[in-house]
Amino acid sequence: MNAPFRTAAGGRHDRGRPVSFSFDGKTYQGFAGDTLASALLANGVCLMGRSFKYHRPRGVIAAGSDEPNALVSVQRDAARYAPNLRATQVELYEGLSSESQNRWPSLAFDVGSVNNLASPFIPAGFYYKTFMWPRKAWDRFYEPNIRAAAGLGRSPTEADPDRYLNRYAHCEVLVVGGGPAGLAAALAAAQGGGRVILADEQTELGGSLLSATDATIDGKPSDDWLAETLASLAALPNVTLLKRATAFGYFAHNMIGVTERLTDHLAAPNAATPRERLWNIRAKQVVLAAGSIERPLVFPDNDRPGILLADAARTYLNRYGVKPGKRVVVATGHDGAYRAALDLHRAGVEIAAIADLRPNPTGPLVEAARAAGLPIRPACAITGTSGGLRVITARLSPIKGAGQVGPAQIVPCDAVLMSGGFTPSVHLFSQSRGKLRWDQDLLTYLPDQSAEQERSAGACRGRFGLAEALADGFAAGAAASGAEVSRTFAVEALEGDPRGVIGALPHDRGVNAKAFVDWQNDVTTKDLKLAVREGFQSIEHIKRYTTTGMATDQGKTSNLNALGVVADVLHKPIPEVGLTTFRMPYTPVTFGALAGLARGDLFDPVRATPIHDWAAEQGAVFEDVSLWKRARYFPRGSEDMEAAVRRECVSVRAGCGIFDASTLGKIEVVGPDAAEFMNRMYVNAWTKLGVGKCRYGVLCREDGFVTDDGVVGRIAKDRFHVTTTTGGAPRVLGMMEDYLQTEWPDLNVWLTSTTEQWAVIALQGPNARRILEGLVEGIDLSPEALPHMSLAEGRIRGVPTRLFRVSFSGELGFEINVAADHGRAVWEAVWAAGQPHGLTPYGTETMHVLRAEKGFIIVGQETDGTATPDDVGLTWAVGKAKPDFVGKRSLARPAMSEPDRKQLVGLYTDDGAVVLEEGAQIVATAGQTPPMRLIGHVTSSYYSAVLGRSIALAMVSGGRARLGESLYSPSPVGDIPVKVVPTVFYDPEGARVNG
Amino acid sequence: MDKTLAPNAARGALDGFTAAPALGLAAACPMTRFVLRGRAEALAAAEAELGFLLPRQACRAASLDGRHALWLGPDEWLILAPLADGPALGEALEAAMGAHPHSLVEISQRQTAIVISGPRATGLLNVGCPLDLDLAAFPVGMCTRTVFAKAEIGLWRRAPDSFHIEVWRSFSPYVWRFLEAAGAEYA
């Protein structure tokens, strides 16, 4: 195998298990345990992507989730295509197929890199400035083309075939991060006895210990200590260890979102295994041990492939057995880079120079480097690099003080390591709304005041050394769990000075040099300076103007350097420049994980009535009404909806129709004060409603506007059977319960939803009584015994029933209530009995037409939350003698009885064949042009087969005084003349209901 | 024509759903259900008739001889009883409570019950239910109204590894299928 940058030994990858994979169509070899990035580096592949804006060639700069550059797409099959993955987090498996992004036609030769040449013309805010004019070009030209050119990766086009699961979990202590601090925290927290969950984003727990070589803990090599610690934690029944699990969001009240990747690393995952599990973890206490992120140095040409963070290079070497280069220049303002230089030196990599920005670097790591004979150049800045698709030289310049540099020297190399120090990862802490404070000594923001039951430990709060991170983590775990434990960790390791540098390095390359601050968003020092020159002072504005720290990266490597550059230009201390808000997610989360099982058939509950299957077998077409499926119409043969509805309407009026009304909301109001409660809730008067009688009830809100309606039957002196609209059932019950609990707790009355207890079969039409006659027992169906708006209890085919004589069609009608389990059998019995009488099933569409022919309103169609009972012609229902009811005082306001309020009227189009559009506007005169004076709108509009013409209901200003007037409904084909008529179109005398 | 429907004409909401033993998922038998609400005198009378005390501790159930009372609120209990007890139990409770202010409403068929048992029960429930189902937090005998995914349920722990789920009938297929989907990797 030809992997020129692989070491002969060492690393945590499995050298016994070679794995072949492809990148941009070319096949390479790596090992199990490699990431795509480490395997590509081992093969000498530095170039892994093109930058977002300028299409500059880019390699990896990091080794973990902080990688801003190497975004790749991984494809398993046609439907499994995941864009924008960090190559540093993609685990290698046999046959992995990956490709680079944001390049065409190829990564090495990218036409889009012309943007780089044009970059003087693409300054910060370019889009805001350039595409403002002409305004019309935005929609048709600018935006489509910018969108096509922008963005990274492409979305898969097929439906995602993978499974995703959600999982709620609870624990006493959640530890985020499995590095030294996190492991120590878990060890301590576990002794508290409560449940402990430790989540870490990497493939292995251990954090920085996975890259350590020479440290010992408690006298053991850190590798051995790590293995023993993990084994002891895994053996504890109260500890759950999650790896490949990213805590991406800190939500209110210690709810942490964690995505666990279960199959992405497998060559042949089991189809039944979820790809990801989204953990919603509610923790009593959270320990954030999120570690730190190494800061790049901001110098000209710092984005060339082959330039990477020093500690990332150490990780590639020690964890994956990969050398970043053969001759390396180290540029640093921090001791950590010396550790990397020493490790590389021991692995046989030539260290061409260590360019240290500091005039007098000292300390154990620096001394060790000196002792090893590494060429240290104090007070030396890197001021440039050269190379096409990989760095070939570094330009080093002595610092002459006050931002001045001396003559440069060109040093040949094939890799540059950089380090400005480490930035604590305060992303989750900031998401939790905790307050940060600026630490002038460490030059970083640190967690200060917590907003949640949370504490930070280790490097994420500036405790960078291994010994102090372990001690800090243990103390945090103990405090979080309440365990009274203490422990010391004996650590032997070379520790450096934690302080580093921020901001731009001095250079002599002129104003057009590109020194990148944000690699992912292609933001340079020049862009930040331009933003300040153009007047932006707040970092929040500068962020939005330049895009620094935005997108999936969320400023992991760039935030502090951007602040440093801006503070320098503004001549302000950093705390006065501020800090942008860290947004969730920490790293991107798949839509699949967020959706979980809530997709396809399980997206929402689908509520079906007991009669649903019968209707489906009859070929009914259904419509969604809230979560319910309701039969809309029952087409016969090749009928369309219009034809079916006309037939169904005529059949009901000529014979009889059967309709599934089971979805109607039902509330049983029971107790000695039931009538009093009804009096207070509804506008109607209930005291005198006799047992066995029904009344149409209207419910207002406190503001006096109609919110629901329905027929109410009095079952007993202390028991009402209340029906509500289908969609309004839960709202009405909640409103009633609210009044009962907060306003009238003294009333002896209680509410129980019975919506689903009853199946409701509506039988409407002149033959209804004849059909029922042979079916019921114990009920006298005669008009004298059971007149319109009354009810009786008895049996139908042996099944107990509450039989209501009510009508929403204007025909003789009954509504048969039976317990839901019997709904279908009773329906079928009625259906069979109705065959000789022309019984026809009808759906909601016909129901709507029939009620409109009678001028019956539908709440939510005629009303829109601003209609009083009087507006919709229901003054007759209001109990005027009642001392109070919900909405009464509001209805007494003068505005509620203004004569020009919109009132319900009927409309006839002059041409009866024309059916108005529902929602269409009404105007008083023809020929108006916008803005017209609108005086009303159409609320319901149908073709009435029984009348042989169209009908419409409308809410029209002062409508009832306009009877007989000609008005107009503007439409795309011109003003449609209409005439104002009464709301009852059919059987205005109301004789048929007594049929 | 027969005057009465055949005895097997009744159809439960989960008829046709096959138990999934690998998941410990099964439909409970049909049963009689009442919602009982009322003032102290009525409750005492109901307790005398039931033969056991209605639980006054929030979110707890009490049982005797196959009859159960689940606390739903400070003045609200769900009474569960064998199907055969149905009308007689209702009449007996009404007679016992008499004129004392109360509300007894039969809701036998408003909802149905799903039983989930076995070592995977809490894990499967926690796919859709946000509550802490640890035995210490949700002991045997605890019951509560809660949510399962997008459905409201009543959840009652009858044994360390067995839960009784009360769910409105039209939501029951959704809850069942969601639990099946949650456990697809074990089926």
Binary contact (A820, B13; C-beta < 8 A): yes
What lies within 8 Å, CB to CB, of A628 at 6+ separation is: A607, A608, A609, A663, A726, B170
Do both A428 and A286 map to the same domain?
yes
Q: How far apart (Å, rounded) are the C-alpha atoms in residues A948 and A952?
A: 13
Inter-chain CB pairs, A–B, below 8 Å: 140
> For A629-640, what is the mean pLDDT?
97
User: Confidence band (pLDDT; 50, 70, 90) for B147?
Assistant: very high
Phi, psi of A593 (to 5 degrees): -65, -40
How many Cβ atoms are within 10 Å of A172's Cβ, its own excluded? Answer: 19
Tokens encoding B111:
């909802």
> For A272-299, what is the mean pLDDT?
97
Pick from A754, A799, A826: which is nearest to B110 by CB? Answer: A754
Phi, psi of B73 (to 5 degrees): -170, 175
Between A753 and A543, the more confident residue is: A753
Phi, psi of A856 (to 5 degrees): -80, 135
> For A373-400, what is the mean pLDDT?
96
Binary contact (B9, A825; C-beta < 8 A): yes
> For A458-468, what is the mean pLDDT?
97
What lies within 8 Å, CB to CB, of A993 at 6+ separation is: A788, A807, A810, A811, A812, A813, A987
Tokens encoding B59:
């979110």
In a domain, A866, yes or no: no
CATH number, domain with residue A120: 3.10.20.440
> For A803-821, what is the mean pLDDT?
97
> For B161-182, what is the mean pLDDT?
98
Binary contact (B110, A748; C-beta < 8 A): no
Q: How far apart (Å, rounded) are the C-alpha atoms in residues A885 and A869?
A: 13
> For A609-637, what is the mean pLDDT?
97
User: Confidence band (pLDDT; 50, 70, 90) for B8?
Assistant: confident
Q: How far apart (Å, rounded) are the C-alpha atoms in residues A696 and A713?
A: 9
Binary contact (B111, A601; C-beta < 8 A): no
Please check the confidence at residue A594 and state whether its pLDDT lies above 60: yes
Binary contact (A601, B1; C-beta < 8 A): no
Cα separations (Å) of A256 from A96, A168, A591?
Answer: 32, 10, 17
CATH of domain B17-182: 3.30.1360.120
CB A542 within 8 A of CB A530: no
Tokens encoding A359:
């005039």
User: Confidence band (pLDDT; 50, 70, 90) for A132?
Assistant: low
Q: Cα distance from B106 to chain A (closest Cα, Å)?
A: 8
Tell me, what's the pLDDT at A133? 64
Please check the confidence at residue A610 and state whether its pLDDT lies above 60: yes
CB A587 within 8 A of CB A84: no
Binary contact (A165, B177; C-beta < 8 A): no
Question: In terms of residue numbers, what domain contains A527?
Answer: 502-585
> For A843-850, what is the mean pLDDT?
98
Do both A914 and A983 map to the same domain?
yes
| Residue burial A368-407, b: 16+ Cβ < 10 Å; e: rest | bbeeeebebbbbbbbbbbebebbbebbbbbbbeeeeebee
Dihedral of the alpha carbons of A99, A101, A105, A106, in degrees to the nearest 10: -60
Do both A394 and A514 map to the same domain?
no
Tell me, what's the pLDDT at A271? 86
User: Confidence band (pLDDT; 50, 70, 90) for A429?
Assistant: very high
Average pLDDT, chain A: 94
CATH number, domain with residue A347: 3.50.50.60
Tell me the per-residue pLDDT of B25-73, one tens digit each, with 9 for 90 and over. Answer: 999 999 999 999 999 999 999 999 999 999 999 999 999 999 999 999 9
Residue A157: HSE in the Cβ half-sphere, 13 Å Cα cutoff: 1
Tell me, what's the pLDDT at A388? 87
Q: How far apart (Å, rounded) are the C-alpha atoms in residues A340 and A354?
A: 11
Judged by average pLDDT, the poorest of A276-290, A315-329, A560-574 is A560-574
Binary contact (B170, A607; C-beta < 8 A): yes
Tell me, what's the pLDDT at B4? 79
Q: Which residues of B touch A163 (CB under 8 A)?
A: 184-185
Binary contact (B10, A821; C-beta < 8 A): yes
Tell me, what's the pLDDT at A116? 73
| Residue burial A624-659, b: 16+ Cβ < 10 Å; e: rest | eeebbbbbbbbbeeebeeeebbbbbbebbbebbbbb
Give the rounded percent of residues in chain A with a pLDDT score beyond 90.
87
Q: How far apart (Å, rounded) are the C-alpha atoms in residues A36 and A19?
A: 11
Q: Cα distance from B126 to chain A (closest Cα, Å)?
A: 5
Please tell me the total count of domains within chain A. Answer: 6
Binary contact (B75, A750; C-beta < 8 A): yes
Tell me, what's the pLDDT at A102? 75
In a domain, A305, yes or no: yes
User: Confidence band (pLDDT; 50, 70, 90) for B1?
Assistant: very low
Q: Which residues of B touch A668 (CB under 8 A)?
A: 103, 105
Please check the confidence at residue A247 and state whether its pLDDT lies above 80: yes
Tell me, what's the pLDDT at A120? 66
Please check the confidence at residue A108 and state whether its pLDDT lies above 90: no
What lies within 8 Å, CB to CB, of A186 at 6+ separation is: A173, A175, A196, A198, A233, A239, A477
Average pLDDT, chain B: 95
> For A941-950, what is the mean pLDDT?
98
Dihedral of the alpha carbons of A143, A148, A152, A156, in degrees to the nearest 10: 120
Q: Which residues of A touch B107 (CB under 8 A)?
A: 752, 754, 757
Antiparallel, parallel or unpaired: β A934-944 and A921-923: antiparallel
Give the rounded percent of residues in chain B with a pLDDT score beyond 90.
91
> Which spans in A694-836 are helix H?
729-742, 768-773, 823-834
Q: Can you give the pTM of this predicted structure?
A: 0.93
Give the rounded percent of residues in chain A with a pLDDT score beyond 70.
96
Closest residue, chain A, to B9 (C-alpha): A825
CATH number, domain with residue A966: 2.40.30.110
CATH number, domain with residue A517: 1.10.10.1100
User: Confidence band (pLDDT; 50, 70, 90) for A142?
Assistant: low
Q: How far apart (Å, rounded) are the C-alpha atoms in residues A438 and A564?
A: 12
SS3 content of chain B, % helix, strand, coil (to 5): 30, 35, 35
Please check the confidence at residue A128 and state whether its pLDDT lies above 70: no
In a domain, A956, yes or no: yes
Q: How far apart (Å, rounded) are the C-alpha atoms in residues A602 and B129?
A: 15
What lies within 8 Å, CB to CB, of B88 at 6+ separation is: none
Please check the confidence at residue A759 and state whether its pLDDT lies above 90: yes
Tell me the per-residue pLDDT of A776-786, one tens digit each, with 9 for 90 and over. Answer: 999 999 999 99
Place of tokens 């449609």: A976
Tokens encoding A995:
């049929």
* Interface residue A195 vs chain B (CB under 8 A): yes
Q: Which residues of B touch A824 (CB under 8 A)?
A: 11
Last residue of a domain, one of A548, A565, A585: A585
**Domain boundaries in chain B?**
17-182
Q: Which residues of B touch A744 (CB under 8 A)?
A: none
Tell me, what's the pLDDT at A156? 84
In a domain, A791, yes or no: no
What lies within 8 Å, CB to CB, of B128 at 6+ separation is: A166, A597, B147, B148, B149, B175, B178, B179, B182
> For A38-43, what is the mean pLDDT?
97
Pick from B4, B101, B102: which is nearest to A798 by CB? Answer: B4
> For A820-840, what is the mean pLDDT?
97
Q: Cα distance from A803 to chain B (closest Cα, Å)?
A: 17
SS3 A921: strand
> Residue A1 burial by CB count (10 A; 0-12/13-18/19+): exposed, middle or buried?
exposed
Length of chain A: 995
Last residue of a domain, one of A440, A469, A492: A492
* Interface residue A157 vs chain B (CB under 8 A): no
> For B134-163, what is the mean pLDDT?
98
Last residue of a domain, one of A129, A155, A173: A129
CB A408 within 8 A of CB A393: no
Please check the confidence at residue A799 and state whether its pLDDT lies above 90: yes
CB A98 within 8 A of CB A22: yes
CB A387 within 8 A of CB A301: no
Tell me, what's the pLDDT at A285? 98
Q: Cα distance from A717 to chain B (closest Cα, Å)?
A: 12
Phi, psi of B96 (to 5 degrees): -65, -40
Tell me, what's the pLDDT at A131? 61
Binary contact (A756, B12; C-beta < 8 A): no
Among residues A315, A351, A349, the alpha carbon closest in space to that of A37 is found at A315
Q: Which residues of B touch A797 (CB under 8 A)?
A: 2-5
In a domain, A5, yes or no: no
